[in-house]
Amino acid sequence: METEVEDRATAAEKTEFSRPSELENEVTRLFHAPPDRVFRFFTDPATLPYAFASDLSKVTVEKLEVRPGGHYSVLIHFKDGPMRFSGEYREIDPPRRIVNTFEASIWPGVVAMETDTFERVGDFTRARVRYKFASREDRDRMEGAGGEGGIADVWDYIDRLLQQSLPSASDAKVRA
């Protein structure tokens, strides 16, 4: 089994997209880093911006309170205009799980419950991000944005970053 994990790690990992139920979308990826490093990546103001874009000049973390009841808000400046992602953290279980609400300004009124899990696979981490929507219409609105290619590209970039030295908090563009 260890050889199988090592063999899988040598090949480029693909980001997978699925629909576990009619109200859910899921993104899965094996990252070449242990769970504590991947968890930190998605909860640290120095690295979280990379989860939204590889060009940090386009990303501002407006708020990041990684605790149950805490809020987050991330503003991205696209060519077509700004987009804000925001929500409230419901559960934080380092380095295994994060549960939060997820809203995007381009889909007013659509709120998904996002559950991120980080499972150890040898020296690596299988990350799963599952979005649960109130209705199929909400799921379809968010799914119809054509974001799979962008997500796959960003997650490829994240995997490369996880194998290097991660930026420090002093590198982050975070509003107080």
Report the CATH number that the domain containing residue 153 is assigned in CATH. 3.30.530.20
The pLDDT assigned to 4 comes to 44
Coil/strand/helix, residue 4: helix
Residue 24 is predicted with a pLDDT of: 95
Confidence category of residue 145, pLDDT binned at 50, 70, 90:
low
- pTM for the whole thing? 0.84
- Residue 117's DSSP bridge partners are 97, 128
Q: Is 80 within a domain?
A: yes
Domain assignment of residue 139, given as a range: 2-171
Percentage of the chain with pLDDT > 70? Answer: 84
Round to whole Å and give the CA distance between 40 and 87.
18
Percent of the chain residues topping a pLDDT of 90: 66
Q: Quick one: CA torsion of 96, 163, 147, 25, rounded to 10 degrees?
A: -20
If you average pLDDT over every residue of the chain, what do you get?
86
Number of helices and strands in the chain (H, E): 4, 8
Answer yes or no: is 15 within a domain. Answer: yes
Residue in this structure with the two tokens 């990350």, named with its chain if needed: 127
Report yes or no on 176 lying in a domain. Answer: no
**Is residue 66 one of the residues assigned to a domain?**
yes
Mean pLDDT of 144-152: 69
Q: What is the DSSP string of 32-97?
A: SS-HHHHHHHTT-TTTGGGGT-S-GGGEEEEEE--STT-EEEEEEEETTEEEEEEEEEEEEETTTE
pLDDT confidence of residue 131: 96
Q: What is the pLDDT of residue 54?
A: 81
What does the pLDDT read at residue 66? 97
Tens-place pLDDT, residues 76-93: 998 889 999 999 999 999
Residue 157 lies in a domain: yes
Tokens of 52: 């939204």
Q: Please state, in angstroms and as integers, the Cα–Cα distance from residue 39 to each residue in 6, 24, 94, 95, following that order.
A: 22, 22, 7, 5
> For the segment 22-60, what is each residue's pLDDT rounded down to a tens digit?
999 999 999 999 999 999 999 999 899 999 888 889 999
Residue bearing tokens 């980080």? 118
What distances in angstroms separate CA 123 from CA 73, 83, 149, 163, one per listed residue?
Answer: 31, 35, 27, 12
List pLDDT tens digits, range 97-125: 999 999 999 899 999 999 999 999 999 99
Is the model's pLDDT at 171 over the cut of 80?
no
Structure tokens at 134: 């109130």
Structural domains counted in the chain: 1
